[in-house]
Chain A
Amino acid sequence: MVVRFENVGMRYGNGPEVLRDVTFTLDPGSFHFLTGPSGAGKTSLLRLMYLAQRPSRGLINLFGRDIATTPRRDLPALRRRIGVVFQDFRLLDHLSALDNVALPLRVAGVPESQIRTHVGELLDWVGLSGHLGARPATLSGGQQQRVAIARAVIGRPRLLLADEPTGNVDNAIAMRLLYLFEELNRMGTCVVIATHNESVIAKFDYPVLRLEGGELTVQRAFRPAGPDRGGERNWERPHDRAT
């Protein structure tokens, strides 16, 4: 189990609870959409998962560790297993695309000799091999997003969280991005895609975490047709069992 939430509630300061009694489990190698109307708490839920926020109540377990009892100095190690694609990308403006993508490795103390080839290959994979030295400001929105995705996956995370990755791109590019995430998922990464775009969700056959008024319901993936994909847990791919 990668993530487990039990009766988690969260509020900002003294405000109302934006998440209430949220309970769910993410298994290794699973792929989930997280959806709900704007303001439903999708970003807040992701923030809890990537440890930018503490819950005001309830239990969060990441990679088998209860984060409430995990000492602060152990949190970076947990965070290194999580890749995040922020809605606003959060690239560092003064660093090149290569340095931005290399950041998680440098932070983790990976030797510089390994970093260059690694990062070069990955930027090639997302189609940015011609822009290694480019500053984010000189890249298009789509290119910046791919840099952000490359940074999120460079450390081979076990959990990938993407906040509205299809928000500002047209449908063709949105589909390409999702195929990219599927490819990562096939390599064993547990993926959560937050999106309010139901038409994107409908094109795939993955379970959906649905937030409404701060409460979460889990909707199993379910596609009526297809001989090999029937039943409750049809979203589970063969490789899921292998991991």
Chain B
Amino acid sequence: MFRTRRDVPLDRDAAGRFLPWIIAFMVYLAVLATAAALTVSSLTSAWDNEVAGTMTVQVPPRAARQAAPAGAAGADAGLQAVLEVLRKTPGVASAVPLGPVDIERLLGPWLGPGGASADLPLPRLVDIVLDPSAPLDRPGLSKRLAEIAPGATIEDHRVWLRDLLVFARSVEVLSVAIVLLVAAVGIATVVYATRAGFAIHRGTVELLHMIGAQDAYIAAQFQWHAFRLGARGALVGITFAGATLGLLAHLAGQVESALLPRMGMGIGELLVLAVVPIGATLVTMYTARLAVVRSLAEMV
């Protein structure tokens, strides 16, 4: 496919031996960093979807049992009053108290089966789903809840999600930084290797010049040589990276956790990963070309 004239015997240079390995290593790092960024961003958007538009109201046990000021009766009078207030509040789509079964499921792992029995003074929890079309007056709601159920708190899931998002964003920024750093080191290495190759073959290049070769004719030989080396390295790098990601996905599949939903990559993510080795090859090729053209321009 890429048959070019090979008047400059670049194939025998030392660069042919070390450059593909360096490029392979860089592609490996860049693919893993990119995969990390993609995974984290798909995880956070999954969390965000689950958590967005929900809150939890926590009612202390004493406030839940107390009789409401309005005189409503029953063991859960306080809780009922809270529910009533919540359901009347604009912006709240639904308010559902967690029953004993839910509590048992939540606390079972810590207290053991049957540990979360009714006589334990546990706070009561109310799941709230927000109505995205109506704004919620949060301070107003807090004030009213404090009047009818002292000590009741509203927990916005976004608060802890916010910390998680900050973490996720940091991972993304770090990944991009790694990719950029790897690219910069890679470009510097290619420039260095090309310059070295140019110096080794300076006599041949001068001869080609003197018999009337255009700069482009000479640059093409360095360029396609770099392309071959880059493609070889990128292929090795993506192969090892693919194996590593496959292994990680396998390990993740064995972790039973709600925190790791769908670790698998979609087509879009795989395409983004494929850009890394292709980009590395093209960057190698054009970097070599630029380095040679600049060196040639310094000649007579």
Contacts and interface: CB of A to CB of B under 8 A. Distances in A.
A103 B209 CA distance: 11
A53 B215 CA distance: 17
B104 interface: no
A52 interface: yes
27 contacts: A50-B210, A51-B210, A52-B300, A54-B300, A72-B215, A73-B215, A76-B209, A76-B213, A79-B211, A84-B210, A84-B211, A90-B203, A92-B7, A92-B204, A94-B9, A95-B7, A103-B208, A104-B212, A106-B7, A107-B211, A107-B212, A107-B213, A107-B214, A107-B217, A108-B212, A151-B211, A155-B212
Contacts of A229: none
Interface string B161-192: 00000000000000000000000000000000
A223 interface: no
A225 interface: no
B207 interface: yes
Question: Which of A53, A72, A77 has the most chain B CB within a 10 Å cutoff?
Answer: A72
> Nearest 6 A-B pairs (CB), nearest first?
A80-B212, A79-B212, A107-B213, A104-B211, A94-B9, A76-B212
B214 A103 contact: no
B206 interface: yes
B249 to A, nearest CB: 48
B214 A73 contact: yes
A84 B212 CA distance: 11
Nearest to B218: A107
Interface residues of B, number: 18
Interface of B: 5, 7, 9, 203-204, 206-215, 217, 297, 300
A8 to B, nearest CB: 15
Question: Which of B7, B9, B210 has the most chain A CB within a 10 Å cutoff?
Answer: B210
Nearest to B9: A94
B231 to A, nearest CB: 23
Given A92-B7, A104-B211, A155-B212, 8 more contacts: A51-B210, A52-B210, A73-B215, A80-B211, A80-B212, A92-B9, A94-B9, A107-B212
B169 to A, nearest CB: 50
A176 B2 CA distance: 44
A107 B213 CA distance: 5
B211 A92 contact: no
Interface in A134-180: 151, 155
Interface string A94-133: 1100000001101110000000000000000000000000
Nearest to A51: B300
A53 B300 contact: yes
B73 to A, nearest CB: 98
Interface string A41-66: 00000000011111000000000000
Nearest to B211: A104
Contacts of B300: 51-54
B214 A76 contact: yes
Contacts of A72: 215, 297
B9 A103 contact: no
Contacts of A50: 210
A233 to B, nearest CB: 32
Nearest to B214: A76
A79 B210 CA distance: 6
Nearest to B12: A94
Nearest to A154: B211
B210 A103 contact: no
A52 B213 contact: no
A20 B208 CA distance: 29
A53 B208 CA distance: 15
B212 to A, nearest CB: 4
A79 B208 CA distance: 10
Given A53-B300, A92-B207, A106 B5 contact: yes
A129 B259 CA distance: 78
A169 to B, nearest CB: 22
Nearest to A107: B213
A108 B5 CA distance: 12
Contacts of A92: 7, 9, 204, 207
B9 A107 contact: no
B212 A77 contact: yes
A53 B207 CA distance: 13
B23 to A, nearest CB: 25
A90 B207 contact: yes
B72 to A, nearest CB: 94
A54 B299 CA distance: 10
Contacts of A107: 208, 211-214, 217
